[in-house]
Amino acid sequence: MSQAKPLRSSFSGPLVGAIRAPGDKSISHRSLMLGAIAVGETVIHGLLEGEDVLHTAAAMRLLGAQADRDSDGVWRVRGVGLGALQEPAQVLDMGNSGTAARLLMGLVAAHPITCVFTGDASLNKRPMARVTTPLEQMGARFVGRSGGRLPLTVVGSDHLTPITYRLPVASAQVKSAIILAGLNTPGATTVIEAEPTRDHTETMLRHFGATVTTERQEDGALAVTVIGQPELTGREIHVPSDPSSAAFPVVAALLRPGSDVVLKDVGMNPRRTGLYDTLIEMGADITFENQRDQAGEPVADLRVKHSRLRGVVVPADRAPSMIDEYPVLAAAAACADGDTVMLGLKELRVKESDRLAMVADGLTACGVALEVGADDSLTVHGTGEPPKGGALIATAMDHRIAMSFLVLGAATAEPIKIDDGAFIETSFPGFVTLMNGLGAKITEV
């Protein structure tokens, strides 16, 4: 990774304009992986070209697929077919991406190859046992550090056994890893989730020709089943704009009087829109225009105008649909009128950083009153006005912490500085240029 890039965000005027946030990261990762195991060519429009996704593209090349970018920005993937991934001659470096690492572990586990996974300093601290445990039950083997942390060796097999696995914690990454392992496993592999998580893997697999079913259980849980060894055929994919990335200009526009911003082609998968539901409950003026469907994924243009926000209670069962958006929601809550209570945030402690602690420490330094509950809740006491700001925020190599406090800095009386904005490129290339184009004032320190 490049050297640290300190940034300052200062009080700005209205944000105005029409933009397209980068392509959806979750869909971009999956389109490269599934294209690599399909027969024929997969053509991908709008792929996110952030560092996380580029690591996935590099990994698929090492596994035998072709993944190349045309001069017009279109990506073409020539797949090797299901079960035909090759043993890589090098270590698979997944950079900062937990999604890429966990999903790809599931994919290679069902191939008779040995792969070594590693990542950057942040990723190598994150727990992988939640993925390796069910994959070991299927018959794969893993050798890694304590807690299953990277660097980690996967010893795969094409003789895995299908399982029925109930997720102990809501996680689309774990669900997807098991489903991807089940692709090259004969029979039916089932994952049961008590709370619905993002379903991009299931939607895209159907698009490629796999049989994937979702059934409601008597206890209300969802059972997702994939039938192994389908014939996957290359497809055309239009990657929508990432709702998690769009969240930053959306919240920035809400906080600045006079703002009127349009975000084009935003993915509106209902399992990803918890933040937008919450902001609307808080009084946000967000309208959804030109609603349409692309390869099974709902898409819309969002028009966002400045709004006076009020505090709300965000229920724990909404967490899976907005787990990456709590930092920027906390920034909005800091400017809202009244208390915003966010429940069920335990998963935030095992993201790129301990995001719950990072958000709490950063907001406190900016003059925001709050409490972190013993139950991993966060209560932000808003006054109806932006806080003072003026803090230097330690980002711990976490792109979402960095962007959230840069958004808040556009509204605070005193500028907010972050110690490193270099990692923003992993998920939102061009973030500073795009925000400044709307009227923000983000500068290098």
Distance CA 9, CA 392 (A): 11
Annotated ligand binding at 69? The verdict is no
Q: Report the alpha-carbon distance of residue 122 to residue 359 in Å, rounded.
A: 17
126 is known to lie in a ligand binding site = yes
Residue 355 annotated in ligand binding: yes
Number of Cβ atoms within 10 Å of the Cβ of 227: 17
Distance CA 66, CA 186 (A): 26
**Annotated binding residue 400:** yes
- What CA–CA distance (Å, rounded) separates 445 from 428? 20
**Residue 324, annotated ligand binder?**
yes
The answer to the question of whether 125 is labelled as a binding residue is no
Contact assessment for residue 424 and residue 399, using Cβ atoms and an 8 Å cutoff: yes
Does 354 qualify as catalytic in the annotation?
A: no
Identify the three-state secondary structure at position 324: coil
Rounded Cα distance, 60 and 437, in Å: 35
Q: Yes or no: say if 279 and 304 are a contact pair by the CB < 8 Å rule.
A: no
How far is the C-alpha of 353 from the C-alpha of 120, rounded, in Å? Answer: 13
Q: For 156-210, give the DSSP string.
A: --S-----EEE-SS--HHHHHHHHHHHHTSSSEEEEEESS----HHHHHHHHHT-
Selected catalytic residue, list 93, 120, 324, 398: 324
State the maximum Cα–Cα separation within the chain, in Å, rounded to a whole number: 61
Q: Is 388 annotated for ligand binding?
A: no
351 is in an annotated binding site: yes
Task: Let me know if 97 is exposed, middle or buried by CB neighbors in 10 A (0-12, 13-18, 19+).
Answer: buried
Tabulate helix, strand, coil % of the chain (nearest 5). Answer: 35, 25, 40
CA distance 163 to 323: 27
d(CA 438, CA 391): 24
Is 171 marked within a binding site? Answer: yes
* CA 48/CA 239 separation, integer angstroms: 8
Annotated binding-site ranges for 3-phosphoshikimate: 25-26, 30, 171, 173, 324, 351
User: Catalytic residues, which ones?
Assistant: 324
Q: Which residues are annotated as a binding site?
A: 25-26, 30, 98, 126, 171, 173, 324, 351, 355, 400
